[in-house]
Amino acid sequence: MLHTVDESITPIHIHDMTVAYHKKPVLWDVDLAVPEGKLVGVVGPNGAGKSTMIKAIMDLVPKASGWVRIYGKPYPRARRAIGYVPQRESVDWDFPIHALDVVLMGRYGHVGWVRRPGKRDRERAEEALEKVGMVDFGHRQINQLSGGQQQRVFLARALAQDAQIYLMDEPFAGVDAATERAIIDILMDLRARKKTMLVVHHDLHTVRQYFDWLVLINMRVVAAGETRDVFTEENLNKTYGGRLTVLSEAAQAVADHRGGL
Amino acid sequence: MIWDATFQFVLIGALLIGATSGTLGAFAVLRRRSLLGDALAHAALPGVALAFLWTQSKALPILLLGATVSGVIGVLVIEVIVNYTRIKADAALGIVLSVFFGIGIVLLTHIQQSAVGNQSGLDKFLFGQAASIVRADLYVMCLVSALVLIAVCIFYKEFKGLIFDAEFLAALGFSPRRVDLLLMGLIVLSVMVGLQAVGVILIAAMLITPAAAARFWTDRLHVMVIASGILGALCGALGVGISALAPRIPTGPVMVLVATGAFLASALIAPKRGVLARWARRRANARRENGQHFLRAHTARQDGQGDAVALTDIAAELQLPRARVHRLAKRLSRDGCVAIHNGACSLTEQGQKEAEFVVKSHRLWEYYLVYRSILERDHVDRPADEAEHILTPEMIEQLETLLANENIDIDIHKTGSGYRRTGDDG
Amino acid sequence: MVEIWAPFWIVLTGALAGASCGLLGAYLVLRKMSLLGDALSHAVLPGIAIAFLLSGSRDVLPMFVGATAGGVVATLLIETFHRRWRVQEDTSIGIAFTALFALGVVLITAFAAQVDLDQECVLYGEIAYTPWDRLFWGERDMGPRPVWILGVVFALDLLIVVVFYKELLIASFDPEMAVSAGISAALMHYVLMGAVSVTTVAAFESVGAILVVAMLIVPGASAYLWSDQLKVILTLSALMGVVSAVAGYFLASAWNSSIAGAMVAAMGAIFAFSLLLAPRYGLLGRFARQARLSIRVARDHVLLKLLRERESRQVSALGWGDLVDATARRISGLALRSLIWQGLIVRENGRFALAEPGITRATELLRNHRLWEAYLNQLGLPPDHVHDPADALEHVTDDHLQREIRMALPNIATDPQGKRIPEAR
């Protein structure tokens, strides 16, 4: 590395990380040091590996190489520092469970194995629901909520995790304008409380308005830094331009080569 | 004894069953209807029993009619559950399969306990009994098989469209829903053909297993359909032959085991898609990769073109044990890429060419990554290491144009050292 | 002595099997793993057959070892076919479990003389012989063996479900979240699969291979139609298992048929009942709701039509033919009759006119409709495109939503066609 990173105060430090699905690389050599207290947007075209990066940070997908440090520690030892908002489609909304119980899941990491969440955890969950404006819906079955409301429930769950860092996978996907406003207000509030957020986002129009830091991804990090420096025509062309076909072709070739086909 | 008339009926029956379900199985498997076929077969049992209870007749057409009706009802119930409730497809399949089968068992045991039932022989529909096929049955089976196979020939094009791209089929003016229904109907018929000889529990395997085996041998649909039909027929005949030798064992399980054997053998030895072929290809790739590493290490360590480099140096460059580098060198010399003398080796003309290609693609890739990313220099190398072995000449050309447009010049002889990173962090 | 108690022991065995399977089966259904239960129950057969052949006994231990080995082999085969050999997943499952089941049947029939196990046992189980299959502690007769085995298994399953309730919940609903909360979703998966295997093996002896599948899936799926609370579903599912065991026993006695088969048939009846009648997720409830909605829409259309006629042409009464929608005659007719019955519309000289409460309701609807039109127009939809969506939305707009739209449209008094938006009362 040419620049040095003070690990213990860096919320997320990714070094030389390559991630492969079924032997096909989807992220090449990511290097990233996310500064504390920023609202960071992760932007790139479909299939660019945005979600994969978030999942790799949390060890949800195996890394082919490289490492990630959370405040200088590997993920398993820093688990409680991270709150997670997965994509809405990642769960079955027909599952028999109430909104409040979903939010309560945010407390499970603090409760630990086998023990039941207590009264305090319940209060925390209710507070979190209140913050996202869903307190009246706590006892609704989750499939009776609108898309925006479901997203708010997920956000409330992350809030209940009481973390330092929040990783959010497309929290604005398919929500109404009111929900988007409500979510962004909460994110701003978290930023004011020095929390760090990594938010996968796909709406280029709102990038400048929402994020103070930006990571542009297309199978590798194209650019990362302050939004005003990074969000340029040239960088966007590099991110969204069709020139990267060689890279995806090579990825396919690597997969075939290793799989022996 | 084996070639008496009865056995000939049985054999022909088994061939028919195998061919019909094998052919239809190819479509069923590709259309992801394997497990639906299984549910359908299990759901046929109560129909067989009810048909007997109603008519007191053991005639195959009547029993098969009952089986078809209850099988189709089973499939419809699955459709209703999946489309109109929150229960998902896997549970719906399991429910219909087991509940219909349970009802079938109730009816069957009820029939067996009653006076007429003892001789009904309906329990052959559980595990199959090919020996029970008589001339009249054979006529029915021939008729249904012929119907199914002719339908496949006529509607081949539509089925193909349905499997690969239902939307495109719709755009061509065919209704995918109707084609799907037709295919489902044919699958039902082909299951019914085999019910008596293979049994409701295992007939699905005659649909699934030969088709899955045929898939290993080819990538083309019509070849797969024909291969699957032939394979099915062979398995049927062989199964019947074996079970004729051991009459106590029901035919169905034997046929299924033969089919499974064919599947395993295909998976192992099929060219291209087979396990052995893939393993050999992987090995060849690994060899080529090692050879190319060797050549690149040689280029990095040599002072001038055509100079010899000591094998110890190459071993040091590659960070590999000497014995392995030695073996590599020997193989490369067999391939005519290097010449070895006194523990050192030099590149032949062919080796020189090969090395140039490798180095060039490596450096092109490196430049590409450096230029295209904010990566520090030291990281570039490892992905390049992987990419260099797999870049095709066309991709190289593409890269070259790309970089030429950016006015980047590539000097392939300026191969710096350190292409293999030593530390974790710089 | 045994004879008198026989029905009791049989029912108890069935009830214990039903409750254990029901408890775990609810999770299988929710996790979309029903087919794995199916595969497992087929795959344990060769394991059990081989264990019988090797040990020559029906002791619990060799049976469990054999069955577990069968289950593991099935899982490995499916994994190998699917991941390494790239066969589709459903095809892999189909091949693996038919092959293993076929192997089991061949082994059992080929060596039937040597083992006390036959085709019938494989299919129907031997629940009818339960009372005579005794467990001895030294010299003492402790009661039927299957009752003991299934009792222990049920206790074990209950313990797992209670102790790991939270862990199973999060791992089933959102495995990624479970991992990020430090709860290993993979571990919970194995705990559950282990429990399912043990339960399958224990129940297998009593009810046979294929019927175990029904016991696993059917109660869970039925309960899932009745409730939105996991705890309720688990309880209901276990209860349904018990009820169908009892009902099945009497059904079998009356019909002189297989007891296990009758238990499954009873389960099927419970499922059919749930499928039709469960209030929120049943078919009848669903169709009733749809019918109610379409009648409501038809009613709204009749009211609107009358109001519009009044507004534009000062005609206050219309004939039957003008009001009833030709494409949905029956529903329109029903709607009209219910409006008359409720006093929203009055009938005079064979023609129909709005009564006072009808005018109120119709004005409300018209307001909704025109508010939506104005709102959609403001969002950028051209005026000639706003009618149809507004038509659909007007019926489902409550006071709260109406106020919100009104607030979003300050200073707008007319819809895009220039018609006045009636004010709220």
Domains and CATH numbers, chain B: 5-269 (1.10.3470.10), 274-426 (1.10.10.10)
DSSP state, A68?
A: E
pLDDT for B268: 93
At B422 the pLDDT is 32
User: Tokens standing for B16?
Assistant: 């028919």
Query: Out of A84, A98, A109, whose CB is closest to C182?
Result: A109
**Are the C-beta atoms of residues C371 and C404 closer than 8 Å to each other?**
no
Q: Is the pLDDT of residue A248 over 60?
A: no
Chain C residues lying within 8 Å of B107, measured CB to CB? 257
The rounded distance, in Å, linking the Cα atoms of C373 and C367 is 10
The closest of A121, A103, A78 to C177, measured between CA atoms, is A103
Cβ-contact A54, A199 below 8 angstroms: no
Rounded CA-CA distance C261/B76 in Å is 22
pLDDT 10s digits, C30-58: 998 888 778 778 888 888 888 888 887 77
CA–CA separation, C147 vs C160, rounded Å?
20
Contact (CB, 8 A) for A193 and A24: no
pLDDT exceeds cutoff 60 at C1: no
Contacts of A105 in chain C (CB under 8 A): 169-170, 173-174, 177, 181
Q: What is the distance between the alpha carbons of residues A159 and A125, in angstroms, rounded to a whole number? A: 8
Range with the poorest average pLDDT among A132-141, B68-77, B292-301: B292-301
* CATH architecture group of domain C291-408: Orthogonal Bundle (1.10)
Write the CB contacts of A192 (distance below 8 Å, at least 6 apart in sequence).
none
* Angstrom distance (rounded) from CA B21 to CA B104: 23
Chain A residue numbers with beta carbons less than 8 Å from the beta carbon of B365 are: 250
In whole angstroms, give the CA distance from residue B120 to residue B126: 13
| DSSP assignments along C302-341, one per residue | HHHHHHHHHHHH---EE-HHHHS-GGGHHHHHHHHHHHHH
Residue pair C314/C306 in contact by the 8 Å Cβ criterion: no
Answer for the pair C44, C204: CB distance below 8 angstroms, yes or no.
yes
Burial classification of residue A215, based on how many CB atoms lie within 10 Å of its CB (0-12 exposed, 13-18 middle, 19 or more buried): buried
Residues B118, B61: contact at Cβ < 8 Å? no
Banded model confidence at residue B96, pLDDT cuts 50, 70, 90: very high
Q: Enter the tokens of residue C384.
A: 């000639």
C337 has pLDDT over 50: yes
The span from the CA of B402 to the CA of C368, in Å, is 59
* Cα dist from C256 to B50, B111, B412, C124, whole Å: 16, 9, 88, 14
Domain range C2-220, CATH architecture: Orthogonal Bundle (1.10)
Q: Is the pLDDT of residue C266 over 90?
A: yes
Alpha-carbon distance of C381 to A248, in angstroms, equals 40
DSSP state of B390: T
pLDDT at B375: 39
The yes-or-no verdict on residue B421 having pLDDT over 60 is no
**How distant is the Cα of B368 from the closest Cα of chain A, in angstroms?**
10
Which tokens in the block code for residue B128? 């199959």
Q: What is the DSSP string of C177-237?
A: HHHHTT--HHHHHHHHHHHHHHHHHHHHHHH-HHHHHHHHHHHHHHHHTT-S-HHHHHHHH
Among B376, B380, B402, the residue with its CB nearest the CB of A243 is: B402
Instruction: Please name the amino acid found at residue B161.
Output: G
Q: Please give the ipTM for the structure prediction.
A: 0.85
Q: In which residue ranges of chain C is CATH 1.10.10.10 found?
A: 291-408
Band of the pLDDT at A241, cuts 50, 70, 90? low
> What band does C152 get if pLDDT is binned at 50, 70 and 90?
very high
Could you tell me if C119 and C109 are in contact, meaning their C-beta atoms sit under 8 angstroms apart?
A: yes
CB count in 10 Å sphere of residue A89:
11
Q: Are B23 and B232 in contact (CB under 8 A)?
A: yes
Tell me if C51 sits within 8 A of C223, measured CB to CB. Answer: no
Q: Residues 137-166, chain A: which have Cβ within 8 Å of B?
A: 143
**Domain residue ranges of chain A, discontinuous segments joined by +:** 7-259
Cβ contact (<8 Å) for B373 and A220? yes
For testing the chain B interface, which of C34, C84, C225, C255 should be mutated: the one with the most B CBs within 10 Å? C34
Whole-number average pLDDT of chain C:
84
pLDDT band at residue B419 using 50, 70 and 90 as cut-offs: very low
Using CA atoms of B353, B355, B361, B363 in order, give the dihedral in degrees to the nearest 10: -120
The C-alpha atoms of residue C248 and residue C266 are separated, in whole angstroms, by 6
DSSP state of B119: G
Yes or no: say if B133 and B71 are a contact pair by the CB < 8 Å rule.
Answer: no
Q: Is A2 on the interface with B (CB under 8 A)?
A: yes
CA A49/CA A202 separation, integer angstroms: 12
pLDDT (mean) for B402-422: 47
Q: How far is CA B229 from CA B198, B210, B213, B224, in A?
A: 16, 8, 11, 8
Residue ranges with strand state E in C336-400? 345-348, 351-354
Residue in B254, B182, B216, B232 with CA at minimum distance from that of residue B15: B232
How high is the pLDDT of residue C116?
58
Each residue of C274-318: pLDDT tens digit?
999 998 889 998 899 888 888 888 888 888 888 888 777 777 777
Which class would CATH give A7-259? alpha beta
Chain Cα centroid distance, residue C401: 33
Interface size A-B, in CB pairs within 8 Å, comes to 75
Least confident of A236-240, C1-5, C371-375: C1-5
Q: Which amino acid is at C96?
A: A
B373, A221: Cβ pair inside 8 Å?
yes
CB pairs under 8 A between A and C: 77
| Angstrom distances, CA of residue C376 to CA of C211, C370, C382, C390, C395 | 56, 10, 8, 8, 16
Contact A31 B387 (CB under 8 A): no
| Tokens encoding B252 | 């169905």
* Termini Cα distance of chain A: 36
Which pLDDT score is estimated for B417? 34
pLDDT greater at residue C149 or residue B403: C149
- In this structure, what DSSP letter does residue A29 have? E
Amino acid at A33: A
Do B204 and B34 form a contact (C-beta atoms < 8 A)?
yes
For B133-188, the pLDDT digits (tens) are 888 888 888 999 999 999 999 999 889 988 888 777 888 778 888 898 899 999 99
Please report the pLDDT score of residue A5 as a whole number. 67
CB contact under 8 A, B398 and A18: no
What integer pLDDT is reported at residue C221 of this predicted model?
A: 95
Alpha-carbon distance C45 to C53, whole Å?
12
At C265 the pLDDT is 94
Task: Say how far apart CA B58 and CA B48 lie, in whole Å.
Answer: 9
Sign (positive/negative) of CA torsion A43, A45, A48, A51? positive
What is the pLDDT, as a whole number, of residue A256? 61
Cβ of C228 within 8 Å of Cβ of A141? The answer is: yes
Which pTM value belongs to this model? 0.83
Count of Cβ atoms closer than 10 Å to residue B164 Cβ:
11
Q: Is the pLDDT of residue B389 over 70?
A: no
Helix (H, G, I), strand (E, B) or coil at A225: strand
Determine, for residues B86 and C224 on separate chains, whether the beta-carbon distance falls below 8 Å: yes
A258 to chain B: closest CA residue: B282
